Amino acid sequence: MGIAVGVNHLSSRAVAFGARALRQQTQGYPKGGEELIRSGVVRAIPPRDAASALQAQGFRLLDVRPAWEWEKARVVGSLHVPLFVEDTDSGLITLLKKWVHFGYVGLWTGQLLTTINERFLPQVEEVVPDKEDKLLVACGEGLRSMIAVRILHKGGYKNLGWLAGGFNRSGDGDFAEVEGSTKLQYATVGGVSYFFLQLLLFLQVVGKGN
């Protein structure tokens, strides 16, 4: 019981810390997604209702997480177009940002310093040319996907859904099939916190075996 509590506590703390870091990274990027969701123009769909939206209502899942999160865990059959990509600029200012980011965020969460994908909309248009298609837009915590729905709506996509709270709020059975090395709700957890989480999960398995 104590290990299970430890797993839940560590995972929730790591996810929350990562979400705060992502809020800082997304500041200054296009806003308006929250208003679209609040007004009902973009439909908020909680993870527990995602399977129904995908299987019975004709939505396609668009995962906008960066590649390193998508590689850890992903819904089978989902589309993947990252809204943010690794910032590979080698200028002095960016290098300083990377140093600060690693010290305060990257070491604990494993998140890289990112910049917005300037080709996000064209890349979505390549994989979803019909702008009448229903898209359920998702990320880890719901922040990046909120920016994404604003960009997509402005780009002409009108049948949009937003995965409320992101994959972090999902349960083990919310999606029909998931692949990768970890659970969807842990995919944003990296760095030092990831190793602690894996240790606790291992101890939990051992404890059940005994």
Out of 139, 146, 152, 189, which one is annotated catalytic?
Answer: 139
Residue 139 annotated as catalytic: yes
Q: Which string of b and e fits 77-94 if b means at least 16 CB within 10 Å?
A: ebbbbbbbbebeeeeeee
Amino acid at 145: S
Q: Tell me the two tokens of residue 201.
A: 């999960």
* Structural element, H or E, at residue 74: strand 73-75
Backbone angles phi, psi at 85, to 5 degrees: -125, 165
Sign, CA dihedral 189-144-119-96, equals negative
Distance separating alpha carbons of residues 59 and 50, to the nearest angstrom: 9
Residue 118: CA count within 13 A, CB half-sphere: 1
DSSP assignment of 34-46, as one string?
A: HHHHHHTSSEEE-
Let me know: does 143 contact 22? Beta carbons within 8 Å. yes
Question: Which active-site residues does the annotation give?
Answer: 139
